């Protein structure tokens, strides 16, 4: 109650002081004058660079990045491709900043590097990621033998200048035994390195290298010889995903009946009644619509291929299984549910080398958080001789949460002001969705008021932001008194959304020209009478203020007339 009284007093003083108070938006508000990137960098340099960055530091870093993006858009006529590259770099950087513990100095350096990459994304075509991951040159070539348990060993080093994290390395498989001489018994065989420190010299590389091993069995059809083997690596460097192919060699001592690599067999597999193992792999997938929101129904199309060169596969059963969500084993649920109730698709036959599309309609649960969800695809099939096979792979479907923003009732004190007066406007903003809102701000627009803005900042899911701003009247209202409050916010990809909220505030013209003392016949001999009346401040403004003044003058004039009538009566009695 005290707060409301205080704000009411402030509003009344705004009418009396008529324009002596002005308000300005925060310097970091979108569309306002902002600090330059160098100003923010100076701020970082004035603080301890070894201090761990907090939430406010991350917000300031985010503002620096957004400033840079806005300057790029103002400087260049960006193509849709350049915008897409900028959004990709920005999204990866934003995720890295939000989820990585850094010192203030490391955060400052990362923002500078990210802004440099954003400039490159805006002006040039990015041909591909730079490679910083290599095989250690001191690692000997592996030798494997048919009929014995064998292993292929590699050692990787980081020859860059930055830490490499979350390194995932997988062998590149091939159904051709002359390219991959090992038995394929699983779709993927990944190894993970949590982090890999940079090595500035080969001596450091020998110490910092990380060794990995894959137990493999030589195929009975693999000829003896030296095979080039490729491993694919994907990793994070400074928050950006990069890829690298690592080539090594393996000496294979194969089955004597398979001959030597480079020599033709005396008999083909068909002549011997043998067939190679047919493999079914996923070559691509898409969703309709392209963006899947929580609670939406979408169609998933997965393209699969029979990689065998001469063997068809038949009686193929595909089973889709979405990732399970929940806090424990007793309360789990699948992220996606098939609308038909069945997650199984049957395909009669896929010819050698042919592809086919699998289509299934699914619904994403409405309570999913915004992140990618994995769908596993299991296949069971037969070759031309009815030999059974199985295969498994997976696809990842990103799920988006639609922003849900609502506002509460607005409070306007006072609801009517004069030109030059001020009114306090307050109302809450609710984030009812499951995604974070960034750079939430509210601007007020109308001909009768001076432009004003309130900056809220970031709103987490379920959070409330409060708008509290003073509006100054600049000209009389010529309509119904509706002021438009434009609410603006951004999602994680910096896409801007706006919505409008009407607020009622009537601005009236204050005119004192017809309120002179002489016009009401008030003479100097009334001053003593006026002293008997208490001084009443103008608290209502406009019509209410005039009503108070009119009441005072009316009472004074009435008493003056009574006084004159009494004096006239006394004078007539004296004359008589």
Q: What is the pLDDT of residues 516-537, one digit of tens each?
A: 444 444 444 444 444 444 444 4
At 192, phi and psi to the nearest 5? -125, 135
pLDDT given for residue 226 in this prediction: 85
β-bridge mates for residue 260, sequence order: 224
What is the C-alpha to C-alpha distance for residues 353 and 427, in angstroms, rounded to an integer? 64
Domain 278-400 has CATH 2.102.10.10: no
Whether omega before 414 lies within 30 degrees of 0, making that bond cis, reads: yes
* Rounded average pLDDT over 331-360: 86
Task: Please tell me if the domain spanning 2-13+403-508 has the same topology as the one spanning 278-400.
Answer: yes
Note the CATH architecture for domain 130-261: Sandwich (2.60)
pLDDT above 60 (res 548): no
Separation CA 154–CA 487 (nearest Å): 56
Provide the pLDDT for residue 124: 57
Round to whole Å and give the CA distance between 364 and 373.
10
pLDDT band at 381 (very low <50, low <70, confident <90, very high): very high
- At residue 487, the pLDDT reads 92
* pLDDT greater at residue 361 or residue 533: 361
- DSSP for 62-104 reads HHHHHHHHHHHHHHS---HHHHHHHHHHHHHHHHHHHH---BH
The answer to pTM > 0.75 is no
pLDDT bin (cut points 50, 70, 90) of residue 127 is: very low
Higher-confidence position of 25 and 219: 219
> Higher model confidence: residue 525 or residue 227?
227
* Whole-angstrom distance, CA of residue 382 vs CA of residue 316: 7
pLDDT band at 565 (very low <50, low <70, confident <90, very high): low
Q: Domain coordinates of the chain in residue numbers? A: 2-13+403-508, 37-123, 130-261, 278-400, 518-575
Tokens of 471: 């509006």
Fold that domain 2-13+403-508 belongs to in CATH: Immunoglobulin-like (2.60.40)
Tell me what the mean pLDDT of segment 468-495 comes to: 87
Strands 142-145 and 240-253, by their bridges, are parallel
Binning pLDDT at 50, 70 and 90, where does residue 176 land? confident
Mean pLDDT, the chain, rounded, equals: 76
Torsion of CA 544, 546, 548, 550, to 10 degrees: -140
């Amino acid at each position: 109650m005290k707060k409301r009284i205080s704000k009411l007093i402030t509003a009344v003083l705004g009418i009396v002081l008529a324009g002596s108070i002005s308000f300005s938006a925060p310097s970091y508000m979108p569309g306002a004058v902002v600090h330059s990137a160098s100003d923010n960098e100076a701020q970082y340099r004035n603080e301890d660079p070894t201090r761990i960055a907090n939430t406010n530091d991350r917000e300031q870093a985010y503002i620096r990045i957004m400033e840079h993006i806005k300057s790029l858009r103002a400087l260049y006529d960006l193509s849709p491709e350049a915008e897409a590259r900028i959004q990709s770099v920005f999204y990866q950087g934003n995720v890295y900043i939000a989820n990585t513990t850094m010192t203030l100095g490391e955060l400052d350096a990362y923002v500078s590097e990210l802004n440099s990459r954003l400039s490159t994304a805006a002006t040039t075509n990015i041909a591909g990621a730079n490679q910083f991951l290599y095989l250690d040159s001191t690692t000997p070539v592996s030798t494997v033998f048919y009929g014995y348990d064998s292993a292929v060993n590699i050692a990787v080093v980081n020859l860059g200048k930055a830490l490499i994290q979350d390194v995932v390395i997988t062998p590149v498989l091939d159904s051709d035994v002359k390219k991959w001489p090992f038995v394929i018994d699983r779709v993927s065989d990944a190894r993970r390195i949590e982090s890999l420190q940079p090595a500035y010299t080969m001596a450091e590389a020998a110490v910092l290298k990380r060794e990995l091993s894959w137990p493999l069995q030589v195929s009975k059809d693999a000829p003896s010889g030296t095979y080039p083997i490729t491993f694919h690596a994907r990793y994070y460097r400074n928050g950006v995903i990069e890829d690298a192919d690592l080539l090594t060699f393996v000496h294979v001592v194969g089955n004597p009946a398979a001959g030597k690599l480079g020599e033709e067999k005396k008999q083909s597999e068909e002549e011997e009644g043998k067939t190679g193992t047919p493999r079914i792999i996923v070559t691509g997938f898409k969703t309709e619509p392209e963006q899947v929101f929580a609670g939406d129904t979408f169609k998933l199309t997965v393209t699969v291929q029979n990689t065998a060169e001469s063997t068809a596969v038949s009686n193929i059963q595909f089973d889709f299984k979405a990732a399970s969500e929940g806090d424990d084993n007793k309360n789990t649920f699948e992220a996606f549910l098939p609308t038909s109730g069945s997650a199984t698709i049957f395909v009669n036959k896929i010819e050698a080398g042919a592809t086919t599309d699998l289509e299934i309609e699914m619904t994403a649960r409405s309570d999913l958080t915004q992140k990618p969800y994995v769908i596993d695809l299991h296949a069971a099939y037969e070759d031309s001789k009815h030999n059974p096979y199985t295969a498994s792979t997976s696809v990842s479907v990103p799920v988006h949460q639609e922003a849900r923003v609502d506002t509460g009732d607005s409070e306007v004190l006072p609801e009517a002001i004069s030109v030059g007066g001020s009114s306090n406007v307050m109302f809450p903003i609710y984030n009812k969705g499951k995604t974070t809102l960034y750079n939430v701000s509210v601007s007020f627009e109308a001909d009768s008021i001076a432009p004003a803005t309130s900056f809220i900042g970031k709103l987490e899911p379920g959070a409330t932001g409060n708008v509290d701003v003073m509006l100054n009247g600049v000209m009389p209202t010529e309509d119904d008194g509706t002021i438009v409050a434009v609410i603006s916010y951004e999602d994680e990809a910096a896409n801007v959304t706006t919505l409008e909220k009407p607020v009622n505030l009537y601005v009236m013209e204050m005119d004192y020209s017809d309120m002179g003392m002489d016009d009401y016949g008030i003479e100097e001999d009334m001053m003593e009478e006026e002293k008997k009346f208490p001084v009443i401040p103008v608290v209502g403004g406009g019509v209410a203020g005039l009503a108070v003044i009119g009441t005072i003058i009316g009472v004074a004039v009435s008493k003056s007339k009574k006084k004159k009538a009494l004096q006239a009566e006394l004078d007539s009695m004296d004359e008589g």
